[in-house]
Each structure stands twice: as C-alpha cells, then as structure tokens.
C-alpha cells in the first residue's frame, strides 16, 4: 500500500504491507532508538510521538500514520542530550535499555504539564517500565531538569 508520512520532519513516500507494524518500520528507516520491550503494550519502550502526542508504536498500525508526523528520539537530539545529562548526574541509569522510550515520554510531559507535582510526574510516566532501577534517581533528575528548563525560560 502507498503511504506518505513525515519522520522527524523528513517526508517519506513508500510502499508497504498493509499490516506493517509502526515500530519495526521506524527501525527500518534508521530510527534505532525505537525498541520493543514487550508484546503486550505494557513497557513504554517503543514510545514515539504521533502529531506530537506520545503513543505506543508497537500498538498502532503504521498505516494510521499516513499523512501524519512521527517524532522519534533521533529527531530530538539536543533536548534528549540535555535531559540525558541530568540522568547521568543522578546516576539514574543502570543498563539504559529503558532510556529512549522514557526520555520520549519525559519530553512529552514537559510540553503537556505545567509545573507537575511528584504525583503527577509519577502518573504521567507510570507506563514506562525499568527493570533495573527503583525510579528514584530518574525522579530526582526530572525534578532538577524541569526546574532548570523553567529557569531558562524565566531568564529569557
């Protein structure tokens, strides 16, 4: 089937099987940050943005993205690096496997929620599983990161 979509701002016209999974397709286009951590829509590792909303690329069929914009971590390099530095400073990560889906959702949260409480942060991110850590370092990193971004805005 013919499909036209934008991946990280780049227009792609392609011919695909009707049941092509979005996740595997994005990987085939070089977006290796998009990974599969489960078969049941539970882990959040495959998170990408469709029209700027975080969704599960393991779940929605690729065809649903026809005529639409997908953003992956590859399209948010500098922002991801900025937040990644906070994660590193807090020693939040262990194996790092959960990282890409987690960062995609943190950056979505930053756009969607204004000054979230700890409970709101936890609730927003509860669909991102990490098998190594206890999420405590991540939470510290997020709070410091949000504070610093807000500070930046305040100085503008």
Partner 1 sequence: MLRCNDYIFAESLDEAYALNRKKSAAIVGGCGWLKLGSRQWGSVIDLSRLGLDKITETDEAFTIGAMVTLRDIEKHEGLNAYTNGAIKESVRHIVGTQFRNTVTVGGSIFGRFGFSDVLTVFMVTDSFVELYKGGVIPLHEFAKLHYDDDILVNVIVKKNPLKMAYSSFRNQQTDFPVLTFAHAFREDGAFSVIGARPSRAELKRDEENILKDIFSKSQDEVIEAINAYALWISSQYTYESNLRASADYRRHIAEVLARRTVTAIVDKG
Ligand X SMILES: Cc1cc2nc3c(=O)[nH]c(=O)nc-3n(C[C@H](O)[C@H](O)[C@H](O)COP(=O)(O)OP(=O)(O)OC[C@H]3O[C@@H](n4cnc5c(N)ncnc54)[C@H](O)[C@@H]3O)c2cc1C
Q: Which of residues 55-74 bind partner 1 (CB under 8 A)?
A: 55-56, 58-61, 63-64, 66
Binding region for partner 1 (CB under 8 A) out of 5-13, 27-35, 47-55, 139-147? 47-55
Binding region for partner 1 (CB under 8 A) out of 5-13, 77-85, 105-113, 145-153? 105-113
Binding region for partner 1 (CB under 8 A) out of 25-33, 39-47, 92-100, 130-138? 39-47
42/94 with CB nearer ligand X: 42
Contact pick of 15, 40, 117, 155 for ligand X (by CB under 6 A): 40
The strand pair at 53-56 and 10-15 is best described as unpaired
Contact pick of 9, 18, 151, 154 for partner 1 (by CB under 8 A): 18
Torsion angle defined by CA atoms of residues 83, 150, 75 and 95, in that order, rounded to the nearest 10 degrees: 20
Matching residue, tokens 């882990």: 43
- For 91, counting Cβ atoms within 10 Å of its Cβ (0-12 exposed, 13-18 middle, 19+ buried), the class is exposed
Q: Six-digit token pair at 56? A: 């599960």
Instruction: Give the distance from CA 136 to its chain's centroid.
Output: 19
Site for ligand FES contains 140 (CB under 6 A): no
80/125 with CB nearer ligand X: 125
The half-sphere exposure of 56 on its side-chain side, counting CA atoms within 13 A, is 14
């Amino acid at each position: 089937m013919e499909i036209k979509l934008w991946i990280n701002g780049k227009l792609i016209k392609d011919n695909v099987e009707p049941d092509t999974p979005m996740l595997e397709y994005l990987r085939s286009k070089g977006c290796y940050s998009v990974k599969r951590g489960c078969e049941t829509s539970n882990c959040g590792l495959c998170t990408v943005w469709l029209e700027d909303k975080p969704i599960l690329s393991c779940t929605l069929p690729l065809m649903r993205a026809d005529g639409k914009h997908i953003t992956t971590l590859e399209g948010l390099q500098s922002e991801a690096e900025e937040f990644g530095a906070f994660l590193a400073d807090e020693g939040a990560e262990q194996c790092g496997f959960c990282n890409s889906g987690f960062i995609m959702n943190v950056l979505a949260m930053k756009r969607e929620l204004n000054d979230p409480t700890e409970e709101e942060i936890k609730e927003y991110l509860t669909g991102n599983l990490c098998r190594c850590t206890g999420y405590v370092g991540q939470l510290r990193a997020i709070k410091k990161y949000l504070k610093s971004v807000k500070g930046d805005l305040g100085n503008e």
